[in-house]
A = this chain, B = another copy of it.
Amino acid sequence: MVNLDLSNVNCVLDLNKYSEYIKKFEEWCKKEKESPKGMIGWLNYCSRLDTAELDRIETVAKDIRSKFDTLVVVGIGGSYIGARSMIEAVKGLYSKEPIELIYLGNTLSAKYTKQILSYLEKKKFAVLVISKSGKTLETTIAFRLLKQLLKNKLGEHFVNAVYIVTDEHNGNLLDEAKYCGYETFYIPSDIGGRYSVITPVGLLPMAVAGVNIREFVQGAINAEKILSSSDLTKNQSYQYAVMRNILHKDGKAIELFVTYEPQVRRMCEWLKQLFGESEGKNKKGIFPASAVFSTDLHSLGQFIQDGNQCLFETVLNTTERDDEFVVPKEGKDFEELNHMAGKPVSEINQIIFKSVLKAHASQGKVPNIVFNIDKLDEYHLGYLIYFFMKACAFSAFIQGVYPFDQPGVEVYKENAHALLKNEE
């Protein structure tokens, strides 16, 4: 179960005012759904998802694992963070089983590219290119470099080591995939990058990595049902959206997403993209930042406790207990730890969570929104992903901005395009 705890924010939900917003939002969603240019396909994508599509994803994933020892996932932004964040959250930061996943196409750093390409020299790898438009510079350049390497190894058979996820109707990647005969999966045209982790964009790499995508989709389907209520007193995704806007109006410029699990750090990156790109327009938006505790209590902790009160925290608290590692007892108790000998490390992590909540929220007056998450598994992650997407769309609606575009990203791209043309 996932439960939203709003008892540490010291603010009250204004039920009347925001219930009005909900009505208007749900009407707007209907219109967006019916519009030919609407981008709200994610709202019931999972419950409409064909079993045949899941079967095909799992079959191809199995095929990739049987033929290759490494999969290079090539993508950036929404074509990358979602899948990687879910894989890390489920499998941990260092898993190479059942297959190693490597990420490229998310940077133009020559240093990073060199490290990856020289590592791949000795590997039997496949390439999975994920791009809706097929035009993104980072992705296309990385794809070409990888094709070069594959062609050196496999000659004309390189096409059998290339897999594609792209728009179902348009784009140069679709053209190339058809021309070369790459195995291809499709992104519905009415779902944008940062809402696409529930489509093959996320599901294919997750399935290859051994993540149970049926459980993940089931979590999202249940969220669709549970979070379909129009009643603010019952719908926690609406409650979360409303509360963060109340805090923002109260002067908080920053939302700090917090986890106590290092392997959830990248899910916070996914949240930063989701909220930052959806809300950050027309000079509006809450700046999204993230921290991993207890690590960052020893870096950002001082600021949060006692510095400029410009932020609130949103804590993903996974309450799962694990008794495998306990504090060992020693003969000479130099570190003064023997009084907690036998206590599981996971329990101490929860004690730190409670101590920090009290320190930050009660003593430091920093509002804390808390998600209590029973288990860090595919089902709960699918639920959370849908929860945050719905909350984000509603939150942007409250702020009066369109949640599904990102016009500001084009500005530097146009500058780069001009520079690259002139320097030819």
A419 to B110, CA, bound (A): 49
Query: Which of chain B's residues have a CB closer than 8 A to the CB of A328?
Result: 144-145, 147-148
Residues 272-310 of A, flagged 1 when their CB comes within 8 A of B and 0 if not, give 110011011111111111001011011111111111111
Q: Which residues of A pack against B, CB within 8 Å?
A: 76-78, 81, 92-95, 106-115, 117, 119, 134-138, 140-141, 143-145, 147-148, 172-173, 175-176, 179, 193-194, 253-254, 260-263, 269, 272-273, 276-277, 279-289, 292, 294-295, 297-311, 322, 324-325, 327-328, 330, 332, 334-337, 339-340, 343-346, 348-349, 351-352, 354-356, 358-360, 363-364, 376, 406-409, 411-413, 415-416, 419-421, 423-424
The 10 closest A-B pairs by CB, nearest first: A280-B303, A280-B307, A77-B298, A306-B408, A273-B299, A305-B408, A355-B415, A359-B412, A355-B416, A285-B307
Asked if B325 contacts A113 (CB within 8 A), the reply is yes
Q: Is chain A's interface secondary structure helix, strand, loop, or mixed overall?
A: helix
> Could you list some 14 contacts between A and B, CB below 8 A?
A78-B298, A92-B112, A108-B345, A110-B324, A144-B327, A277-B303, A281-B302, A284-B307, A304-B408, A306-B407, A351-B423, A354-B415, A358-B412, A358-B415
Asked if B110 contacts A322 (CB within 8 A), the reply is yes
Asked if A179 contacts B334 (CB within 8 A), the reply is yes
Query: Which of chain B's residues have a CB closer than 8 A to the CB of A281?
Result: 302, 306-307
Query: Which of chain B's residues have a CB closer than 8 A to the CB of A327?
Result: 141, 144
Partner of A286, one of B81, B143, B308: B308
A288 to B254, CA, bound (A): 11
Q: Which of A176, A302, A423 has the most CB of B within 10 A?
A: A302
Query: Which of chain B's residues have a CB closer than 8 A to the CB of A302?
Result: 276-277, 280-281, 406-409
Query: What's the nearest-Cβ distance from chain B to residue A203, in Å?
Result: 20
Query: What's the nearest-Cβ distance from chain B to residue A329, in Å?
Result: 9
Query: What's the nearest-Cβ distance from chain B to residue A210, in Å?
Result: 15
Query: Which of chain B's residues have a CB closer than 8 A to the CB of A93?
Result: 112, 115
Asked if B112 contacts A262 (CB within 8 A), the reply is yes
